Amino acid sequence: MGKMGEEKKSGGCMGWFIVLIVVGEIALALALGFTLRNKFHHDDDGDSPVPRPPGPVAQKYGDALKIALQFFDIQKSGKLVNNEISWRGDSGIDDGKEANLDLSKGMYDAGDHMKFGFPMAYTATVLSWAILEYGDQMNKANQLDSAKDSLKWITDYLINAHPEPNVLYIQVGDPDIDHSCWNRPESMTEKRPLIQINASTPGTEVAAETAAAMASASLVFKSSDSTYSNSLLKHAKELFTFADKHRGSYSENIPQVQKYYNSTGYGDELLWAASWLYHATKDQTYLDYVVGSNGETYANWGSPTWFSWDDKRPGTQVLLSRVSFFDSKAATDASLKKYRKTAEAVMCGLLPKSPTATSSRTRSGLIWISDWNALQHPVASAFLAVVYSDYMLTSRTQKIQCDSASFSAKDLRKFALSQANYVLGDNPMKMSYLVGYGDKYSQFVHHRGASIPADATTGCKGWQWLESDQPNPNVAMGALVGGPFLNESFVDDRNNSMQTEPSTYNSAAIVGLLSGLVTTSSVATSFT
């Protein structure tokens, strides 16, 4: 499947009834921060949308969504507000002080205490996207406020990390120092140095990803907090200009990041950021950017890849597909058609019965690309599939063509369900890879705070808690662990970080996927 195998998204009384429905729709739309849109409920055949508000909540996915969102609370740095995690407290309060900045917020990356700006910004972008597509469905499951709160905790940090147009702080903490300790974030005493990019030391990938995060989040908060939304959009525009004008790979300019989040190129982030800025502003120059020479250079049309923190091309292809699905004027653009055609190729590769189906999957049907953090690809791919299926339903697009075979929105949703169900326990291990969901899940999550009792005094060297053969004293609710090996085995060992370590960017993708499955409705034909 091309490069997807490599690692690199009426009248009388009835009239009054209709009026009441419309008024209710307007109230709901305003409450969610979206413009009024047509609602569609999926018919049983999955192919014909019927105007209707979101359907009933599927308890399985509603429960899982609530649990998944809790991991963001576990990962919060700073002075915690309305903290409901009994074993978490304030931490990282002095982060940023050496630069006279407040970088206390944000979220710890994984099981450690690092704040890596590149994956954190990607986390915010994907979470924003999930809210924009499925905020009404999150609301139906009473989880919208939680999602928006988690998003704002990250964007508050990102705003503070961008004190000047051409300066962005992209890392808090030294990973070598950080990883030489095993302690709770509340008891950190080690140094927390800062890394920045600027005009002389550019980092296009992280500047552009942060611009995408700010632009997408500006849409989320547009009606509920216009001042905050405008601030986010201002930062997004400045960061995109910085990223585009001062081009350079952050991995090349700051070699120490290569060991943890090495980038394979910045072209995808430039297209991703411009796509989000187009949705946030409707400024034609951003659309021109992605369909012009930059698209020719970086889009890699016709060659599907895997959506991840490092490769935004599949996400961009799906996001720009919504333009050709819902904007009749833009739909005729030849380059936009190429984005949509490549998005379809991504979808065709995911569908197990497609002639172009990827062989990169387990015997039980889980997309599987990498030993390390195996679940990031199937979950991110399934999120893109459910979004694309809803674009098809809302636009009444009956089929996509995969060589000699055609497939419906229902087929894409079925694939997305299969990946979600695998994560939640429908797998050979008969365990949930979402901690806290179901009866059987990882007891030895590779996570410092979860592994150490809240009243323990460890200093930096609490290694006995890493090596302990006892289950974690604290449950990392909502953590999506790394996942199974290709043979579908899973070794629940705290030292087995490739399988038992969670990450915030995986959480954003599983939240997006579950939000798309928790009930059914149409998607917004426009975010603005």
The position carrying tokens 């195998």 is 5
The per-residue pLDDT for 11 is 32
Flag residues of the chain having pLDDT under 70.
1-52
CATH number at residue 96: 1.50.10.10
Within a domain: 286: yes
Amino acid (one-letter) located at 42: H
Distance CA 277, CA 217 (A): 11
Amino acid (one-letter) located at 149: D
The tokens of 9 are what? 């998204």
Within a domain: 267: yes
What is the three-class DSSP state of 308? coil
Please say if 446 is a catalytic residue. yes
CA 312 to each of CA 389, 397, 399, 443: distance values in angstroms, whole numbers, following the listed order:
19, 25, 25, 33
Catalytic residue among 113, 162, 446, 447: 446
Within a domain: 382: yes
What is the three-class DSSP state of 331? helix
The per-residue pLDDT for 14 is 32
The per-residue pLDDT for 52 is 52
For 283-294, write each residue's pLDDT tens digit.
Answer: 999 999 999 999
For 2-56, write each residue's pLDDT tens digit.
Answer: 334 333 323 333 333 333 334 444 444 444 443 333 344 444 344 444 445 788 9
Taking a C-beta distance cutoff of 8 angstroms, is the pair 67, 478 a contact?
Answer: yes
Amino acid (one-letter) located at 324: S
The tokens of 236 are what? 């997004």
The position carrying tokens 């990250």 is 154
The per-residue pLDDT for 154 is 98
Within a domain: 5: no
Within a domain: 528: no
Q: What is the DSSP string of 347-404?
A: HHHHSTTSTT--S-B-TTS-B---STTTTHHHHHHHHHHHHHHHHHHHTT---EEETT
CB atoms within 10 A of CB 341: 16
What total of structural domains would you count in the chain?
1
- Pseudo-torsion of CA 160, 278, 207, 504, nearest 10°? 70
User: Would you give the distance in Å from CA 143 to the centre of its chain?
Assistant: 16
Longest Cα–Cα distance in the chain: 75
For 200-237, write each residue's pLDDT tens digit.
Answer: 999 999 999 999 999 999 999 999 999 999 999 999 99
Four-residue CA torsion sign, 510, 467, 114, 174: negative
Please give, one letter per residue, the 3-state secondary structure of 394-453.
HCCCCCEEECCEEECHHHHHHHHHHHHHHHCCCCCCCCECECCCCCCECCCCCCHHHHCC
> What b/e string do you get for 437-456 counting C-beta neighbours within 10 Å, with b at 16 or more?
bbeebbebbbbbbbbbeeee
Q: Within 13 A of 286's CA, how many CA atoms are on the CB side?
A: 24
Q: Which of 377, 499, 486, 495 is nearest to 435 (CA)?
A: 499
Within a domain: 522: no
The per-residue pLDDT for 351 is 98
The position carrying tokens 């550019």 is 202
Distance CA 299, CA 467 (A): 46
Within a domain: 1: no
Q: Which domain range does residue 180 map to?
A: 10-517
Stated length of the chain: 528
Within a domain: 2: no
